[in-house]
């Protein structure tokens, strides 16, 4: 099969959609395809020099006439240039708004028939798709794509219910880099964070947005902490951070909750963790669950969105109702106080990543779509 030239459009920052776009590009480049990232900055983990990966920066000047610099148009212009200059075979767009719209405009600007795949990641549908000002825009982006994929079955169904596209949506699950996320030796990290050897460690990793319900994580931890010696490690940065720091203090938990900020050593942080909490009110997939599972950390998550497609209740973790912090504490204690059960869950978590979310199988599923889209135009 000939190797393809693929333009990738994504948010280059640390959010889950950017991580998936980056990991997929790296895997496709390993398979010999030429990957062209067209983004505002070099995505995290995309190396400066790689024989099969190029970065095309989208630049925009803040002219005085613009209240808001039109990034979407600058992006379309750059995509159009790259389509022509690099003779791309297809575009893979991650996140519908504005990327799918910019891709459609770019195609028109370049006078090209290039195929477009749009991967929906969650909030582009579950939040933006509910906004009357953006619903039709999301729909337009999907309709203008040759193929649309969703990262979970739940997101696929939400997209049909909220957006009602005529286009078929295919579910392709997320995956993680199994070479990076695996049980590693954390060295002295536990001690360095001021956690005693005998203390249990609960971890939550997110962008600290309100949908993540970090308040529920803290309230659950408070109940857990009454029964076992434990620390809660909160990893990430975002809008709710200060409020959550204040909440920890108000609850007299500031010595037991460690706010680490953004960290690059996630496998090590996961290696010192006994249990992950993801208690979101919206979550299309929950990539962080896979990262934890791959490192042998079971999870308790809400029975929301795509989380039940990742957490198998009673096998690699537990599912609870949104806001049911008592249930979180009960399930957490049943794992933390029963080492043999905890061990079984750890093994099951590792197997979930190897079997259901195997990166090679998922990359091959995307590659199949790449060939279909490249050849159908
Ligand atoms: O809120 C986030 O978690 C970031 C967001 C993003 O756009 O990067 O994540 C979404 O995409 C991830 C990768 O597909 C999914 O794992 C997350 O579940 C999804 N977030 C939500 O649906 C809230």
Tell the residue nearest (CA) to atom 3 of ligand 1. 16
Is residue 181 in some structural domain?
no
Domain identity same for 204 and 166: no
Distance 135 CA to ligand 1 centre (A): 18
Structure tokens belonging to residue 232 = 């809660």
Which alpha helices (H) appear in the chain, and where do they start and end? Answer: 16-30, 71-85, 99-110, 123-126, 132-143, 153-163, 189-192, 214-225, 241-250, 266-271, 287-294, 307-310, 325-336, 339-355, 359-375
Does the pTM of the predicted model rise above 0.90? yes
At residue 342, the pLDDT reads 98
Is residue 268 in some structural domain?
yes
Give pLDDT tens digits for 318-363. Answer: 999 999 999 999 999 999 999 999 999 999 999 999 999 999 999 9
Is residue 246 in some structural domain?
yes
| Residue 49 CB neighbours (<10 A) | 5
At residue 376, the pLDDT reads 67
Domain identity same for 307 and 368: no
At residue 328, the pLDDT reads 98
Domain identity same for 102 and 231: no
Domain identity same for 35 and 105: yes
Q: In sequence order, what DSSP letters do the residues of 131-171 get, joined into one string?
A: SHHHHHHHHHHHHTSSEEEESSHHHHHHHHHHH--SS-EEE
pLDDT at 364 exceeding the cut of 70? yes
Residues with CB under 6 A from ligand 1: 15-17, 20, 95, 121-123, 126, 151, 174, 207, 209, 211, 282-287
What CATH number should be reported for the domain holding residue 56?
A: 3.40.50.2000
| Residue 63 CB neighbours (<10 A) | 8
Candidate from 96, 126, 287, 301 with most ligand 1 atoms within 8 A of CB, to mutate: 287
Domain identity same for 140 and 202: no
Asked if 305 and 280 count as a contact pair (C-beta separation under 8 A), the reply is yes
Asked if 262 and 194 count as a contact pair (C-beta separation under 8 A), the reply is no
Domain identity same for 83 and 221: no
Cα 283 versus chain centre, distance: 9
Atom of ligand 1 nearest to the CA of 124: 7
Residue predicted with more confidence, 344 or 376: 344
Using a 10 angstrom Cβ sphere, with 0-12 exposed, 13-18 middle and 19 or more buried, the burial of residue 160 is middle
Distance 10 CA to ligand 1 centre (A): 13
Tell me what the pLDDT averaged over the chain comes to: 95
Distance 1 CA to ligand 1 centre (A): 33
Domain identity same for 110 and 230: no
Taking CA atoms, 321 is separated from 81, 153, 214, in Å, by 49, 19, 15
pLDDT at 134 exceeding the cut of 90? no
Domain range for 38? 5-175+358-375
The complex's ipTM works out to 0.96
Domain identity same for 22 and 37: yes
Atom of ligand 1 nearest to the CA of 285: 18
Domain identity same for 237 and 89: no
At residue 263, the pLDDT reads 95
Atom of ligand 1 nearest to the CA of 17: 8
How does residue 155 score in pLDDT terms, banded at 50, 70 and 90? very high
**In whole angstroms, what is the distance from residue 281 CA to residue 183 CA?**
29
Domain identity same for 171 and 204: no
């Amino acid at each position: 099969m000939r190797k393809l030239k693929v333009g990738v459009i994504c948010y280059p920052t640390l959010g889950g959609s950017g991580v998936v776009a980056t990991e997929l590009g790296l895997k496709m480049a390993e398979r010999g395809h030429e990957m062209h990232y067209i983004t505002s900055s070099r995505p995290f983990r995309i190396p400066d020099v790689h024989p099969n990966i190029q970065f095309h920066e989208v630049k925009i000047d803040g002219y005085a006439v613009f209240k808001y610099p039109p990034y979407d148009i600058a992006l379309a212009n750059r995509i159009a240039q790259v389509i022509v200059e690099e003779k791309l075979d297809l575009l893979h767009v991650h996140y519908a708004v504005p990327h799918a719209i910019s891709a459609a405009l770019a195609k028109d600007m370049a006078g090209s028939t290039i195929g477009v795949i749009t991967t929906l990641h969650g909030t582009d549908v579950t939040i933006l798709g509910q906004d009357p000002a953006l619903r039709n825009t999301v729909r337009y982006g999907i309709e203008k794509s040759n193929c649309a994929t969703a990262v979970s079955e739940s997101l696929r169904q939400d997209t049909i219910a909220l957006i009602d596209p005529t286009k078929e949506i295919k579910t392709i699950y997320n995956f993680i880099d199994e070479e990076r996320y695996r049980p590693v030796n954390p060295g002295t990290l536990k001690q360095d964070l001021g956690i005693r050897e005998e203390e249990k460690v609960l971890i939550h990793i997110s962008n600290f947005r309100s949908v993540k319900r970090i308040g529920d994580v803290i309230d659950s931890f408070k109940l857990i902490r009454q029964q076992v010696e434990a620390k809660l490690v909160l990893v990430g940065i975002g809008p709710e951070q200060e409020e959550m720091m204040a909440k920890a203090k108000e609850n007299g938990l500031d010595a037991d909750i460690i706010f680490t900020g953004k960290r690059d050593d996630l496998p090590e942080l996961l290696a010192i963790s006994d249990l992950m909490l993801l208690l979101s009110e919206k979550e299309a997939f929950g990539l962080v669950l896979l990262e934890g599972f791959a490192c042998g950390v079971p999870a308790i998550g809400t029975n929301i969105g795509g989380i039940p497609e990742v957490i198998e209740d009673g096998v690699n973790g537990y599912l609870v109702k949104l806001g049911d912090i008592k249930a979180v504490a009960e399930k957490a204690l049943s794992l933390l106080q029963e080492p043999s059960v905890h061990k079984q869950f750890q093994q099951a978590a590792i197997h979930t990543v190897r079997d259901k979310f195997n990166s090679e199988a998922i990359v091959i599923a995307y590659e199949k779509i790449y060939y279909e889209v490249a050849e159908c135009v």
